[in-house]
Amino acid sequence: MIHVSDLPLIESPATTVCPALSVQRLSAGYPGARNAVEEISFDVARGERVGVLGPNGAGKSTLFKAIVGLIPHTGGQISIHGENCRTSHNMVGYVPQHEEIDWSFPVTVRDVVMMGRLRQIGWLRWPRPRDWQAVDAVLTRVGMVNFRDRQIGQLSGGQKRRVFIARALAQETDVLLLDEPFSGVDAAAEHEIGEMLDLLRGDGVTVLLATHDLSTARQFDKLLLLKQHVIAYGTPEAVFTPETLGRAYGGRIGIFQGTGQTIIIADEHGCPD
């Protein structure tokens, strides 16, 4: 007779949690120019908020554009929820810098958000009732449904940012890349956008946010500090140190500590990302 205690113990394999976004040894740049980022590697878990920091020309915008497929990457791999990024760009929502958008274009807020549903609608097809319902739902989610018939250029800076976040969400994505969303907005608008991002975190939305504002660094779950290469990646406590900041900004950064606060002043003259 064989006793249960005599049988070999078979351990269950550990459950592997796939990151929302995985970037491995990524190199990318604009055609005809040298790579703006080299050998970039990091993983982001679902629902995390990651701040992407670095001086002008560090490659923050280039990294985002490579992830969403706007520029080719010359090496490395990008994976979203375990799928190859080349076939899953619709799984990433992208909000570009304010300066890259023509705000005079005669479209309404609703039209702008509908552009985020092109993949769901299909080319040369008209939006269906369920597409308009989806647009109104995400506008409600970001607090902009009452402005849906307004021309996009008539909105304030903070309202424009929220509309473009709604456009990204209309793709039915849960990974958002925000390139300098706080640039050019006042403190009240920055606070509103921050509250909206908190709500999205509760929904499990993963956010990568590029910013020049070092004072916001400790508001993130993790920080990615770039200067063409990854200088540091991890918790704010691990990344936000005089040593790592000095490696990224060189002699152009001043760090002042006192009265329980750290004040950082960076001179960021240089080339754009």
Q: Which of 23-37, 83-97, 240-254 has the highest mean pLDDT?
A: 23-37
Beta-sheet strand order (sheet of 83-84): 37-44, 21-28, 73-80, 83-84
Per-residue pLDDT tens digits for 188-221:
888 888 888 888 888 889 999 999 888 888 889 9
Residue in the structure block whose two tokens are 């810098």: 97
pLDDT of residue 16: 62
pLDDT of residue 8: 47
- Check if the beta carbon of residue 27 is closer than 8 Å to that of residue 74: yes
Task: Please report, for the chain, the start and end positions of each structural domain, with discontinuous segments joined by +.
Answer: 17-92+174-273, 102-172
Give the residue-averaged pLDDT of 49-70. Answer: 93
| φ, ψ of residue 262 in degrees (nearest 5) | -115, 120
Alpha helix ranges (H) inside the chain: 60-68, 109-114, 118-121, 129-141, 157-169, 187-202, 236-239, 242-249
Is this model's pTM higher than 0.75 or not?
Answer: yes
Per-residue pLDDT tens digits for 68-78:
888 888 899 99
> Is residue 86 predicted with pLDDT exceeding 80?
no
Tell whether domain 17-92+174-273 is in CATH 3.40.50.720. Answer: no
Token pair in block for residue 93: 């929502």
- Check if the beta carbon of residue 255 is closer than 8 Å to that of residue 39: no
